[in-house]
A and B are shown apart, each in its own frame.
Chain A
Amino acid sequence: MDNESLLNLAPMIGAEQIALLERLSNACGISGDEGEVRTIILEQVKPTVDEVRVDALGNVLAVRKARKETRLRLMVAAHMDEIGLILVEEEEGGLYRFEKIGGIDNRTLVGKMVLVGKDHLPGVIGARPIHLQEEGDDERAIPIDSLKIDLGPGGKAKVGDRVAFATRFQNLGVSLMGKALDNRLGVAALIELLKHPLEYADLCAAFTVQEELGGARGARVAAHAFNPNAAFALDCTPANDLPSWDGSENVTYNTRLDAGAAVYVADRGTLSDPRLVQHVLDTASAAGIFCQVRQPGGGSTDAASIHRVRAGIPSLSISTPGRYLHTPVSIVRLADWQSTLALVYLSLQRLTPDVLGQPR
């Protein structure tokens, strides 16, 4: 099969998929409180899958059986939780203290609008006016315990309410901008994959919880339950491809926008299965899909726990590069998302027991 005809088999991102991503991005699903996102996922996958259930941790586990014959069980995990905040103490006059959930830089919190609790009450995180700053204030990051969420005088919420950034999704043409694109991009892509059954493999889809808390605990129980022959983590990874302050060469970009899906060889949590790495890169070249190898280094994904489940599961992560992940707003390229979806789909479709039968 030539490049073009192979690529033609892959699912495409269109207006419908972007509209779904918009809903997912605007939904609030802070780690441990993923209900809103889960509801959308269940509504989307129920009509197409053969089996679906919600497990003890809140993961959504769905199976789409092979179209012809089941020769492999292949798992794809996409985490549905996002970073955010949680109210920890009520002060007077509609002011609340809060803590962070997931990896957030304190310097990104000041002056933001937020949505509090299930009713999405609007609130703001204010700061001392520049006019009243003391000498040297601008040299110090504002400590989190001096920041408050302000609901307005008399505003009421509950301690324990999760707080999401109020950023609204925007389609910028070549780019998409919104909160929680890490990892609603993966969630939306996995929903799309379930609409396209594989020929000779069951697709075991895990929409996982609690990835941002570390330990990938949602993925761990999901992998145990599915017990697949191989697994892919479908996630987002930072594109730190900005210019450096002094114009020197940027050698720590991690990934770059416009360079396609990011294939992991190694991160802090996983050494990817080399057979899968080779298979995915071969698939990309056979189909003419542009992709990049993510700079080996820090970070981790659901693969970190999946590959260590039971007797071990060959695992690999494929991510869409995104700028400004773990901040109130991130930017991704549509073309990179499309590349990720196509590469994952064709890699799954072309994966045979032979590939996994080679010695690692």
Chain B
Amino acid sequence: MSEITPFLKKLLTLPGLSAYEDPVREAIATEWRPLVDELSVSRVGSLHGVRRGRGTWEGKRPGILIATHMDAIGLMVTGVVDGLLRVTEVGGVDPRVLPYQPVTIHGRRDLPGVIVQPPESLLPSNTRGKPVRLQHLLVDTGLLPEEVHELVRVGDLISFATQPVELAGETLAGHTLDNRASVAALTICLQELKRTAHPWDVWAVATVQEEETYAGGYTSPVDIHPDLAIAVDVTFAKGPGVSDYRGFPLGKGFTVGYGANVHTAMFTALKDLADEMDLPNHVEVMPNQSGTDAYPMQVVEEGIPTAIIGIPLRYMHTPVETVSLKDINRVGRLLAEFISRLDDHFMEKICWDGK
């Protein structure tokens, strides 16, 4: 197993739903502190770590921002009835994967619980045999109703409690690998950069609320003013339920995004470098919006040349997301090499229609 595995597993056991990322942010800050020159937290809670470049520049030293969102999907309490909890989603959750998932309810104290599907006789008669809608699912804590009313209130968060597990072929399964897998990849990049001189400033950013509003992606570039930005996020792996062009083989390399959210020159630079380094990779065509932090970052202020690196992952937005540790390591190495090669001529390559 990879050296990053213990850190990644730790990230997977920490809560950090959109807008409530504090627990996971603190763990990332602890890991990044020795790897960066300065750490700060934005007004909406994104973590900014900067490694200052070593080059000498006339004027402002150029900088690159690497964004990995750290927020998790989950549930929120909307009501308490007979000691059972009604819920809504935070981020996009498929209600069909929810029945009988173990969860943690972040009430006045953390409570274990399970999402349950009421017996058919207690559901609308026209939904027999169909997937049960989120509004009809309940969460049971096993506590007596009086205790539940004391400990849980509307607005409390609920995290998935499935423990991560290592599967065959150097893969890891668990919840929230979207997108903590990318946080791990960025951490590997920072570790590599510790051993490398790089002329540019490097901003490692763990963004908030990607699953809801892209709040981190919209706001961090305003503070940082980077010259380039890369979003690292998970993408679909081929496997059960995914067979068409949108899926990529698990463990056979990362993807380089190609589409309107990506500056063509950034795509070419990353793709060429991956090939030169013999890192297996695939072109991921993104016909419309990319669904990553590159989408907001591209249009911040006067606009930023952006790129997207994807880590294939099976069963996205379920508690058994599965990802390859080899792919995570490959992304970390690619990012570090890309950054170390950024020099005072690089921005000349970032142009449209050749030159």
Give me the interface of A with B, judged by CB distance under 8 Å: 94-95, 105, 107-108, 110-113, 121-133, 138-142, 146-148, 150-156, 166-167, 170, 172-177, 238, 240, 242-246, 250, 252, 258, 323-324, 327-329, 331
Give the Cβ gap from B312 to chain A, nearest Cβ, in Å. 11
Contact of A124 with B117 in the complex, beta carbons under 8 Å: no
Q: Is residue B288 within 8 Å, beta carbon to beta carbon, of the partner chain?
A: no
Is there an interface contact between B117 and A133, defined as CB atoms closer than 8 Å?
no
Contact of A327 with B140 at beta-carbon distance under 8 Å, contacts A107-B132, A122-B173, A151-B167 already known: no
Choose among A110, A123, A126, A244 the residue that contacts B314 (Cβ–Cβ < 8 A). Answer: A126
**Within 8 Å CB of A127, what residues of B?**
94, 96-97, 240-241, 315, 318
Residues of B within 8 A of A123 (CB): 167
Q: Which residues of A contact B336 (CB under 8 A)?
A: none
* Residues in A neighbouring B121, C-beta threshold 8 A: 240, 244, 252
Which residues of chain B come closer than 8 Å to A142, judged between CB atoms? 96
**With A138-B131, A177-B112 as contacts: A130 and B92 at CB distance below 8 Å:** yes
Which of these, A105, A147, A151, A167, contacts B102 with CB under 8 Å?
A167
Chain B contacts for A156, CB-based, 8 A: 168
Judge whether A242 and B94 touch: CB under 8 Å.
no
Q: A131-B92, A323-B140 are in contact. List 5 more A-B contacts (CB 8 A).
A: A111-B319, A177-B114, A238-B119, A242-B122, A324-B100
Contacting pair A245 B94 (CB below 8 A): no
The answer to whether B131 touches A141, judged by C-beta atoms less than 8 angstroms apart, is yes
> Which range holds the interface residue count of chain B?
35 or more
Q: Which residues of B contact A126 (CB under 8 A)?
A: 239-241, 314-315, 318, 320, 322
**Are A124 and B100 interface neighbours, CB within 8 A?**
no
In the complex, identify which listed stretch (B5-13, B60-68, B141-149, B267-275) lies at the interface while the others stay far away. Answer: B141-149
Closest partner residue, chain A, to B129 (CB atom): A141
User: Distance (Å) between the CB of A296 and the closest chain B CB?
Assistant: 15
B136 and A245 form a contact (CB under 8 A) = yes
CB-based nearest B residue for A123: B167
Bound CA–CA A292/B210 (angstroms): 51
A129 and B317 alpha carbons, distance in the complex (Å): 6
Question: Bound complex: CA of A156 vs CA of B132, how far in Å?
Answer: 34
A131 touches B100 (CB 8 A): no
In the bound assembly, the distance between CA atoms of A242 and B83 in angstroms comes to: 9
* Interchain CB contact under 8 A, B241 and A107: no
Knowing A95-B240, A122-B165, A148-B240, say if A133 contacts B94 (CB, 8 Å): yes
Decide if B242 is an interface residue (CB 8 Å cutoff). yes
B206 at the interface (CB under 8 A from A): no
On whether A110 and B97 interact (CB within 8 A), knowing A151-B168, A245-B122, the answer reads: yes
Contact B315 A129 (CB under 8 A): yes
Give Cα A8–Cα B172 distance, bound, in whole angstroms: 51
Enumerate 27 A-B pairs (CB-CB under 8 Å) in ascending A order.
Answer: A94-B168, A94-B169, A95-B239, A107-B117, A108-B117, A111-B98, A111-B101, A111-B318, A123-B167, A130-B316, A130-B317, A131-B316, A132-B236, A132-B242, A141-B96, A141-B131, A148-B240, A150-B173, A152-B168, A152-B169, A240-B122, A242-B82, A243-B84, A252-B121, A324-B116, A327-B99, A331-B114
Residues of B close to A331: CB separation below 8 A: 114, 140, 142
- Give the Cβ gap from A349 to chain B, nearest Cβ, in Å: 31
Task: Tell me if B318 and A110 are in contact (CB < 8 A).
Answer: yes
Please name all residues of chain B whose beta carbon is closer than 8 Å to the beta carbon of A242 when the two chains form the complex.
82, 84, 116, 118-119, 122, 138
CB atoms of B314 and A150 under 8 A apart:
yes
CB distance from A279 to the nearest CB of B (A): 31
Q: What 10 pairs between A and B have smallest CB-CB spacing?
A: A152-B167, A128-B241, A175-B142, A155-B168, A126-B315, A153-B169, A111-B97, A152-B168, A129-B316, A124-B320
Give Cα A167–Cα B103 distance, bound, in whole angstroms: 12
Contacts A107-B99, A107-B131, A146-B240 known; A152 to B317 CB distance under 8 Å?
no
Specify the chain B residue showing the minimal Cβ separation from A252: B121
B239 CB to nearest chain A CB (Å): 7
Q: Please determine whether A250 and B122 come into contact, CB atoms closer than 8 angstroms.
A: yes
B78 within 8 A of A: no
**Measured between alpha carbons, how far is A133 from B102 in the docked complex, in Å?**
24
Residue of B nearest to A131 (CB): B316
B355: interface (CB < 8 Å)? no
B contact residues around A95 at 8 Å (CB)? 239-240
Q: Does B341 contact A (CB under 8 A)?
A: no
B227 within 8 A of A: no
Query: Given A138, A155, A170, A250, which contacts B167 in the complex, CB threshold below 8 Å?
Result: A155
Give the distance to chain B from A245, nearest Cβ to Cβ, in Å: 5
Interface residues in B149-171 (C-beta closer than 8 Å to A): 162, 165-169, 171
**Which residues of chain A are near B99, meaning CB under 8 Å?**
105, 107-108, 327
